[in-house]
Chain A
Amino acid sequence: MKARRIIPIQPEPGSALPPDERAAVRAAIAANKQRAGALLPVLHGVQDALGYVPKDAVALVAYELNLSRAEVHGVVTFYHYFREHKPGRHVVQLCRAEACQAVGAVALEAHAKRSLGVDFHGTTADGAVTLEPVYCLGNCALGPSVMVGEKLQGRVTPQRFDKLLAQARATA
């Protein structure tokens, strides 16, 4: 007789998460559960707290909102903003929309990738910086624009980019 597998009784949703991450996910759920269309606010809450949406958080979010894991996975992957892997300590978002491209964003992108040694969605070897593309930060009059963490920066030249990154690295 060939080896047969037993589908285990579903483990408790989210039990694979480390306790602190699990607590953060639970908090994001508790804060938004009652809202209509709670899924997006919950996912934002999770990413705000942890910097990403861990794969194992999906089961917990799905269970608590009474959705299937597939549904939550579909939403997480649809939005580029939601990240499935832990980012570096600083997330740098570089605008690639038309207005910024018109004033040097393409060159800035090339410089950023070269100086950090990573492609988009990549994290530097020291775990300090994750580089992400973004399509319009609403700062078109002052492009090229970059967000370093929560802070928006306009008129970013390659030199200024290096300086901002050096400052960020120095803070943590």
Chain B
Amino acid sequence: MLSIVEKDFGTPAPRPARLWKNVGMRSGGDVDVAAKLVTLTIDGREISVSEGTSVMRAAALNDINIPKLCATETLDAFGSCRLCLVQIDGVRGYPASCTTPVAPGMKVTTQNAKLAELRLGVMELYISDHPLDCLTCPANGHCELQDMAGAVGLREVRYGYDGDNHVYAKQGGEANPRFVAKDESNPYFTFDPSKCIVCSRCVRACDEQQGTLALTIQGRGFDSKVSASQAEDFLDSECVSCGACVQACPTATLSEKSLISMGQAEHSITTTCAYCGVGCSFRAEMKGEEVVRMVPNKDGHANHGHSCVKGRFAIGYATHTDRIYKPMIRAKITDPWREVSWEEAIGYAASEFKRIQAKYGRDSIGGITSSRCTNEETYLVQKLVRAGFGNNNVDTCARVCHSPTGYGLKQTLGESAGTQNFDSVMQADVIMVIGANPTDGHPVFASQMKRRLREGAKLIVADPRRIDLVRTPHIEAQQHLKLRPGTNVALINSLAHVIVTEGLVKEDFVRERCEIESFDKWRHFVGDALHSPEAMEAVTGVPAAQVRAAARLYATGGNGAIYYGLGVTEHSQGSTMVMGIANLAMATGNIGREGVGVNPLRGQNNVQGSCDMGSFPHEFPGYRHVSDNAARDLLENAWGVNLLNEPGLRIPNMFEAALDGEFLGLYIEGEDIAQSDPNTQHVTAALTAMECIIVQDLFLNESAKFAHVFLPGSSFLEKDGTFTNAERRISPVRKVMKPKSGYADWEITQLLSNAMGYPMHYTHPSEIMDEIAALTPTFTGVSFARLDELGSIQWPCNEQHPEGTPTMHIDEFVRGKGRFMVTEYVPTSEKVNAKFPLILTTGRILSQYNVGAQTRRTENVTWHSEDRLELHPSDAETRGIKDGDWCGIASRAGETVLRASVTERVQPGVVYTTFHFPESGANVITTDNSDWATNCPEYKVTAVEVTRVSQPSEWQKRYREFSERQQELLEARDAADAR
């Protein structure tokens, strides 16, 4: 079922001609030509539309609604339902309006007696094989079939209902062989073939929109039916549960289970998904304050009406029974929790922080912001720390994911952000994916990328593991550079070596746009034979010929676009690698226009935003260093306080200081450092050492088990604000229900600030955004009103770019001239040896998100209910490990136990796991090693040994005991309450 508020124009808007250009042609500058207008007459009305528009769309744009069933705007015209037939003067027969493009002077009739008769005939056939249970059908109220029956005036079905059919389980007392029972295997939607009209919309949605091609039409003629893979249950098929088919279905054949149980929504509010960095726009379809469905917004600039299993379906966590709605405090972490009023909780928190500061000094407390919170909330927390606590001890979880992106891109290009919008990929000719797994981590963008790849763009994947994108139906990477974890910089240098020594540098671009001395230095450096693919082969493990082929393809294949993820940043040389990528893009001129660029795929919904908002200890909002006097003056005047000009503590420094007895109070908003940060045992030791930890979250997460004050936060459905996605796109988050704990997160921070003695008086997040806009040069044009007007805005948005900036660095780099940085490869100190002979690397899976606090509390666990260790058959064999065995993983930092998945996806010598479940303890094994520039942890390289075991690790036993104890202390709260 489509959105209840969107109008369906039947066929897609014509794609601008420039976007159809052949893959491989280099676009020089701006070739955008305004689409030509075509004027025609429909039902006597003169209408002008862009060339390439279908007759159906042209009519619908002018509120002439031609009956249709198989056509929908998100899919290419198909012309199978025969309801949209029209008459065109001078054209024989009755062409389908969906597949007929407009032509100048065309005269179209959409309604007359003949057309009515034809449509009625078609409708009769449909209804003769369709149940008549409309009143009790879940689609009732928004059923396109029912609407069309009404539109054509169907009053009787001459064929009757007793003939051959797919509707009834029994026919004349006998089992009906055509009948197929409802498939309820998927946790979120049902498939009821008896209601299917075989319009193929679901099949086409899976093919065109999602690109998984999990559905087909089986058989032919009256035997035709929709089949998931080989007539399997949806859950067993190739389906990834993105929901595109459910949305496309014009009947109740594919229906959300929530719709079935709740009935039709009565209003819809546009908001932004709180999962990954793609930042899809959704319409929350509501019944009062309850969400019936989340439907991807067709007008969403990041997702264009597409979604994935997380954003579309996995919102059950927001109302999960584990959620805590009342503030709680306790003096020691061994005490039971005590439910208290907001006043008492905030008062206690503030008094503790003041006590700690009085005793141990101003710098003994700090705060951690989260990439899952809105810009406004993040801004407030850093403001509280800087102005209220009087220090710069604020950091964010971006520290542990994309801090090297901020640093590396700032150094080279001048701005700490990706250079493109997502749509730019539709003009890329060569796509290079480095250390990212888009089909699992950024599924909606992956679908768009796959669409471009199916159109013929070339693909280079640099990843130690065979991610799905390497080979998936209709897509095959030209080169999979299967490097050893930790050798990124060696690889990028050898790619650069080929470009420099084979004369593939785009000299004029470099001369005009970049600092020539830095380029010469870099050219000299990478040109050294030391960096040749042949010399580096022994280091990276990638055959030299493959590296050469990949470099040539990227440099000469037309528009070259690089997309990268945490496989780039989470290394001891993360920042170096980011700079190496920027070097490569600049040297080949692949920057500053559509179709190219350097694109970090951000992990969480608001990583970009939390960095923009000044969450780092060394930077104010807008990436201005705390030592920048002008910026500090501006903020001091606005905030009415003196600010420190020295950077504060980073997260790892906070832990060190805590263990040294110098950092005793921490305010954590929406972040779970005890699970997500490396070397868990070190983190928990630091947390245990602190005197007051305030955790503001939905759940008693891992960190909250060490907390003294728990402030119940609000989900993204309960507050207003904005998220900024990986393409710098600021999108509105809208309150669809009131905060279940009484306060939205920004209000809680404000309460705490006021109690700490630094007054804040915001009455709505829009006022916070106004303050951000007033104080941050790249945000001056941003306001809630403007966001409502434009839908979303890509920063910079200011006087020069009043509608935002889709592509950056067009005429010149933000820093003026692009700067090449010399990127010496320094092997990580985390080396394999006889004791730890394997390298562990970590990643994500489609159905789960980050530490899993949200997705583990949804039906997404159907797909992935535990973390597993992937290891290569040869490594498994020498250790006597079989698929499904429990195996112990030991590193220099600790050990844990996971079940084995034996697979050739990983290379020999490399093992891989995810970290979505706390009991897995993936971060018990990861070490304290980190990026030299930003302290981003080296999650992707840990030397380990794997052995077959029969019981959990010591850490897991301690974890279980501790967790159980904390759960008891939480439950003791209820007992106290009941008294």
| Chain A residues engaging chain B, CB cutoff 8 angstroms | 4-9, 55, 58, 62, 66-71, 73-74, 77-78
Contact = CB atoms under 8 A, between A and B. Distances in A.
A7 B864 CA distance: 7
Contacts of B905: 9
Given A9-B903, A66-B474, A77-B219, A71 B213 contact: yes
B863 interface: yes
Given A68-B229, A73-B216, 16 more contacts: A5-B865, A7-B864, A9-B902, A9-B905, A66-B471, A67-B213, A67-B474, A68-B212, A68-B238, A68-B473, A69-B230, A70-B214, A70-B216, A70-B230, A77-B219, A78-B219
B215 interface: yes
Given A9-B901, A66-B474, A68-B213, A73 B231 contact: yes
A4 B862 contact: yes
Interface string B200-217: 000000100000111111
Contact of A70 (B219, B238, B476, B861): B238
Contacts of A66: 471-476
Contacts of B653: none
A74 B216 contact: yes
17 contacts: A6-B864, A6-B866, A8-B883, A55-B230, A66-B471, A66-B472, A66-B474, A68-B213, A68-B238, A70-B227, A70-B229, A71-B473, A73-B229, A73-B230, A74-B227, A77-B220, A77-B227
Given A70-B237, A77-B219, A58 B230 contact: yes
A67 B603 CA distance: 30
Interface residues of B, number: 36
Contacts of A4: 861-862, 865
A88 B863 CA distance: 41
Contact of A69 (B238, B861, B865, B866): B238
Nearest to B216: A74
A75 to B, nearest CB: 8
Nearest to A79: B220
Contacts of B237: 69-70
Contact of B214 (A7, A8, A68, A78): A68
B228 interface: yes
Nearest to B212: A68
B218 interface: yes
7 A-B pairs with the lowest CB-CB distances in the bound complex, closest first: A74-B216, A68-B213, A4-B865, A70-B216, A68-B473, A73-B230, A77-B218
A151 to B, nearest CB: 28
A60 to B, nearest CB: 12
A62 B861 CA distance: 28
A53 to B, nearest CB: 11
Interface in B853-870: 861-866, 868, 870
A77 B227 CA distance: 11
A107 to B, nearest CB: 25
Nearest to B902: A9
Nearest to A70: B216
Nearest to B218: A77
A160 B864 CA distance: 62
Contacts of A70: 206, 213-216, 227-230, 237-238
Contacts of A9: 870, 883, 901-903, 905
B900 to A, nearest CB: 10
Nearest to B870: A9
A69 B471 contact: no
Contact of A7 (B473, B475, B863, B883): B863
Contacts of B866: 6
A83 to B, nearest CB: 14
B645 to A, nearest CB: 53
A9 B218 CA distance: 26
B901 A67 contact: no
Nearest to A78: B220
Contacts of A74: 216-218, 227
Contacts of A78: 217-220
Contacts of B213: 67-68, 70-71
A172 B438 CA distance: 56
Contacts of A77: 218-220, 227
A4 B848 CA distance: 15
A96 to B, nearest CB: 15
Nearest to A12: B904
Nearest to B901: A9
A74 to B, nearest CB: 3
Contacts of A67: 213, 473-474
Contacts of B862: 4-5
A107 B656 CA distance: 93
A5 B866 CA distance: 10
Interface in B874-905: 883, 901-903, 905
A149 B214 CA distance: 36
A5 B860 CA distance: 11
Interface in B439-476: 471-476
A7 B846 CA distance: 12
Q: Which of A5, A55, A74 has the most CB of B within 10 A?
A: A74
Contacts of B864: 6-7
Given A6-B866, A7-B863, A73 B218 contact: yes
A170 to B, nearest CB: 36
A134 to B, nearest CB: 15
Nearest to A56: B230
Nearest to B213: A68
A112 B472 CA distance: 47
A52 to B, nearest CB: 14
Interface string B11-36: 00000000000000000000000000
A97 B861 CA distance: 54
A59 to B, nearest CB: 8
Contacts of A7: 863-864
A42 to B, nearest CB: 15
Nearest to A67: B473
B345 to A, nearest CB: 32
A7 B863 CA distance: 6
A5 B185 CA distance: 12
B881 to A, nearest CB: 14
Contacts of A6: 864-866, 868
Contacts of B220: 77-78
Contacts of B475: 66
Nearest to A75: B216
Interface in B219-274: 219-220, 227-231, 237-238
Contacts of B474: 66-67
B723 to A, nearest CB: 30
A67 to B, nearest CB: 5
Contacts of B901: 8-9
Interface string B693-737: 000000000000000000000000000000000000000000000
Contacts of B231: 73
Contacts of A68: 212-214, 216, 229, 238, 473
A63 to B, nearest CB: 9
Contacts of B218: 73-74, 77-78
A69 B474 CA distance: 12
A135 to B, nearest CB: 12
Contacts of B870: 9
Contacts of B216: 68, 70-71, 73-74
A7 B474 CA distance: 23
Interface string B355-383: 00000000000000000000000000000
A108 to B, nearest CB: 24
